[in-house]
Amino acid sequence: MPEDRSSAQPGEDSIWSGLKSLIFGAPEESLRDQLEEAIDRHEGDPAPDAKGDLSPLERQMVRNLLHFGERDAGDVGVPRADIVAVEEKTSFAHLVQIFAEAGHSRLPVYRDKLDTIIGMVHIKDVFTILATGAEHPADIAALIREPLYVPMSRGALDVLADMRQRRVHLAVVLDEYSGTEGLVTIEDLIEEIVGEIEDEHDDAPTALLVPLDGGGWDADARAPLEMVAHTVDPRLAETDADVDTLGGLAAVLKGHVPAVGECVGHFSGWKLEVTEADERRIHRLRLHPPAAMEIEEE
């Protein structure tokens, strides 16, 4: 017959709770925390120390998976500035050209402006027409498929589940005003767990920050401020503006997208010179060190 816990002495319950905490860990420690602590204890292990143990790569993937649920649609994927899209009145011939230049398998289709994405076109549908010698359509209306629309606050795990259920591999991320914030593909979500996936058509990766003689730096505008702070100067990441990249910092400091050749001053003494840009965004910059630093270098 099971023991009647109601007859236990006042101190017995606290003793039992203490034993449970000792054996199973403190109640407030989640399974996620316990798994991460276990991974941390083996962080420096070069290889599995027993058959069946996790390799360093597997440990990193498990760590990424533990934090995957903390990410949302606004954190992953392609930002608005990097979206390659086509207007709904684009001709079929022009669509083929854009696919060839972009190297993507899916392109969003917008009406009048990027905030009004009405669908997407899959390269398989285009290739079928080209491969079978079918008559080229006068417009791309018949090729437009419906994408997935998700708010930027929707969790990455939920977006992945939505894609699996709907069998759609591209989601349009909407901001709080239902404008286009960015795009998320199923590849973007998988990369959050397994790391960067590149194929033979991807451009070779380039360094985001390259040191120059005299203490300066050649920088990709996409360089995260966190990386810039760690590599160049912590003060460059000190900003009240909602920006995450070096290019975004330069635009905020200037009040608009600076043209090529324009220099932007920073309170730290660093100067951000725009070396590549178009009317919409900055591509590359050169960081000129403070005068005191230049003297020290000499």
Do 90 and 64 lie in a common domain? no
Asked whether residue 254 is assigned to any structural domain, the reply reads yes
Under 8 Å between Cβ of 187 and 163:
no
Do 166 and 61 lie in a common domain? no
pLDDT in tens, 30-50: 777 777 787 777 766 665 555
SS3 277: strand
Do 25 and 115 lie in a common domain? no
Do 239 and 180 lie in a common domain? no
What gap in Å lies between CA 151 and CA 179, rounded to an integer?
Answer: 10
What gap in Å lies between CA 63 and CA 179, rounded to an integer?
Answer: 33
Instruction: Give the domain-ending residue among 166, 194, 222.
Output: 194
Do 56 and 97 lie in a common domain? no
Handedness of CA 289, 292, 296, 298 (dihedral sign): positive
Name the average pLDDT for the chain: 82
**pLDDT confidence of 11, banded at 50, 70, 90?**
very low
Phi/psi of residue 268, each to 5°?
-75, -10
Domain housing 233: 209-297
pLDDT in tens, 103-159: 889 999 999 999 999 999 999 999 999 999 999 998 999 999 999 999 999 999 999
Q: Among 12-21, 31-40, 85-94, which is the least confidently predicted range?
A: 12-21
Asked whether residue 13 is assigned to any structural domain, the reply reads no
Q: Is the pLDDT of residue 204 over 60?
A: no
pTM of the model: 0.61
